[in-house]
Amino acid sequence: MKIAIVAAVEKVTHFVGQSLAFLDAVEQAGRAAELIRPVLVVGERGTGKELIAERIHRLSPRWRGPLITMNCAALPETLIEAELFGHEAGAFTGAVRARAGRFEEADGGTLFLDELSTLSMAAQERLLRAVEYGEVTRIGSARPLNIDVRIVAATNEHLPDAAAAGRFRPDLLDRLSFEVITLPPLRGREGDAAVLAEHFGRRMASECGWQSWPGFSAAALAELAAHPWPGNVRELRNVVERAVYRWADPDQPVGAIQLDPFASRWQPRAAPARSDVAAAPCAAPGAAGDDSITVALDEIGDFRAAVDAHEAAILRRALARHRFNQRATAKALGLTYDQLRHCLRKHGLP
């Protein structure tokens, strides 16, 4: 099942996927949209938190109102409050004229606060008052302004832990967590890597002027399915689009995937550490019983072979730790069962 949502006449927002974990999160966002309550969207980088925020706004009763976005990590701490709440002329050096803040701009609509956990404690206190009482005060003014704004906030941090550590106000967390939507990482969306690769591949092929889309080879799809995708959908899109535009024969399935664009024998070396010898849990793919050897980094002559040996050693150690139960091993390594099976076949492991 694939979902495509038209967000506006001039823009189409795509939700592509078929896994239950992904569809459950999308459905949860649709239900939350109906009530004008704060929503927290939690997920790793590249999982689509901003798309979920846009879906909540477009499906809400205030879809005709503005959707204002602010990345809390993109501004220095000294400017965040002025950006959120606005300021009067002369309120601080450089404030030559009065300016409305993001809350005022979002009046009657939705304010999306990305990277919420990076807000300073002072900004959190003022945000709490805005959420609690529906009013903001520009910096340099004594007159509060009434605002009607729905808050949707996103973070890649576990905010209860941040609150327990004293880095986030517990009372603000209570006010913002009416609904919490946690987006699954791509490695937890079984089968979606192939679906997304097909979607991004077709779109890139059209952009490159190909007459048709030949798809990916079986080996390329297996490689995409086995990768853990730390950058999630954003990383997958880059990998797929790079593979398509580099492919020289549009009539043949795309068969070359480069997961790491920085991998090169000519890449700059890192600054030398205190010791030029590091212990790494590596073993030759066919070796048995020995899964840790000392490798001199300057002596590695075959990057791919060293990486493969390291990966095989991790698999061998994890299998032994879980008594060769493959499903338990896959869960411990953050892989699906099919991804683990692919890795075992790749390295010739039982």
- Which two three-digit tokens encode residue 178? 């009416």
Q: How far is Cα 53 from Cα 183, in angstroms, rounded to an integer? A: 12
How far apart are alpha carbons 257 and 224 in whole angstroms?
8
What does the H/E/C string look like for 214-228?
CCECHHHHHHHHHCC
Give the separation between CA 80 and CA 7, rounded to whole angstroms: 28
Looking at residue 148, its pLDDT comes to: 94
C-alpha 321: how far from chain center: 30
Prediction pTM value? 0.71
Residue type, 86: G
- Count Cβ atoms below 10 Å from residue 289 Cβ, excluding itself: 7
Are the CB atoms for 205 and 213 separated by under 8 Å? yes
Give the number of C-alpha atoms closer than 13 A to the C-alpha of residue 55, restricted to the C-beta side.
22
Q: Give the angle subtended at the CA of 142 by the CAs of 141 and 145, to the nearest 5°.
A: 85
- Amino acid identity of residue 201, one-letter, is G
Q: What domains sit in the chain, N to C, each tagged with a CATH number?
A: 3-88+99-184 (3.40.50.300), 187-246 (1.10.8.60), 278-346 (no CATH)
**Along the 350 residues of the chain, how does pLDDT read in single tens digits?**
445 443 333 344 678 999 999 999 999 999 999 999 999 999 999 999 999 999 999 999 999 999 999 999 888 877 888 889 988 888 787 777 888 989 999 999 999 999 999 998 988 998 998 999 999 988 888 888 999 999 999 999 999 999 999 999 999 999 999 999 999 999 999 999 999 999 999 999 999 999 999 999 999 999 999 999 999 999 999 999 999 999 999 999 999 999 999 888 888 876 655 544 344 343 334 444 444 444 555 556 677 777 778 888 888 888 888 778 888 888 888 888 778 888 888 888 86
Handedness of CA 331, 335, 336, 339 (dihedral sign): negative
Name the token pair of 71: 């990345």
pLDDT for 34 equals 94
Helix (H, G, I), strand (E, B) or coil at 252: coil
Contact by Cβ (8 Å): 42, 180: yes
